[in-house]
Amino acid sequence: MMGDNKVSKIIINIILLSIMLIWILPTLGLLITSVRSAGDVSNSGWWTVFNSPLKFTQFTLENYKNVLTVNNMNIAFRNSFIIAIMGTFLPVGIASFAAFGLAKLQFRGKMLIYGLIVGLLVIPLQMTFIPILRIFNTLGISGSFVGLWIAHTGYGLPFAVFLLYNFFSSLPNDLFEAAYIDGASLWTVYYRLALPLSVPALASLIIFQFLWTWNDLLVALIYLGGTQDVAPVTVRLANLVGSYGQNWHVLTAGAFISIVVPLIIFFSLQKYFIKGILAGSVKG
């Protein structure tokens, strides 16, 4: 039995190591390509740098200098931050109110409302593009930050409410009843009790929503309507490489910079991530 357990652990470790390599290799290739010159990128693959130690001395940071000046990429990074920050905190904030009300307040029809919200998760985004775009055009907010904020908020709310509802439902009712008996108002209970206790779930939700908003290309292309003044970095990167692959070395530098921001967000909130994912899975 002990021998079988050791063999099983070895097999699991080999599988996990293989999966890790599959995920790391593309990122490593992106990083190496981003510090190579245009001629080297065109003439040989990134893996050839390991053939000769001298090739490591040919690395340059010129691509990173150029990426902030080519095609207004610096403005695109600023736009991505504006879109991602508001596109994250708006749905998280609204969902926290909705989930708390659905989980801890008693009113008629709340389960019907919750069922309708969860049902929105199965609706494909593509079905909503044309009608919402027509509404945005009528209101004059297409091609603006406001339009993208509303779009990301609407698309992110169903999952946000679903996740936070499960967490709030797992919190003991006795805790809130004791607060009400002590004279706490509904706002005080929400702000002083519910929010501090829901930090793991909120952190996980912020990670999911920020990654989705930061990496989004499709929603930005649809609702921007060709407006480049508010285009995020994903749209700029998609337009950076032409039909014949020019500026490929600059593209890799921009792409690597764009993935650094989500990595910083993830690792800074990593300690809450697992807690948030498991939140509400066990009734407490």
Q: Supply the pLDDT for residue 56.
A: 61
> Which of these, 97, 270, 228, 232, lies nearest to 152 by C-alpha position?
232
The C-alpha atoms of residue 194 and residue 215 are separated, in whole angstroms, by 30
Q: Supply the pLDDT for residue 44.
A: 75
Cβ distance 169 to 281 under 8 Å?
no
User: CA dihedral in degrees (49, 62, 213, 16; nearest 10)?
Assistant: 20
> Which of these, 230, 229, 238, 242, lies nearest to 258 by C-alpha position?
238
Asked if the 66-278 domain carries CATH number 1.20.210.10, the reply is no
Per domain, the residue ranges of the chain are 2-60, 66-278
Those residues of the chain that have pLDDT short of 50 are 1, 243-244, 280-284
pLDDT in tens, 230-250: 889 888 887 776 544 566 777
> Which of these, 109, 92, 215, lies nearest to 162 by C-alpha position?
92
- Note every long-range contact of 224-229, with CB atoms under 8 Å and residues 24 or more positions apart, other chains counting: 224/142, 224/143, 224/148, 225/133, 225/142, 225/143, 226/143, 227/143, 227/144, 228/72, 229/75
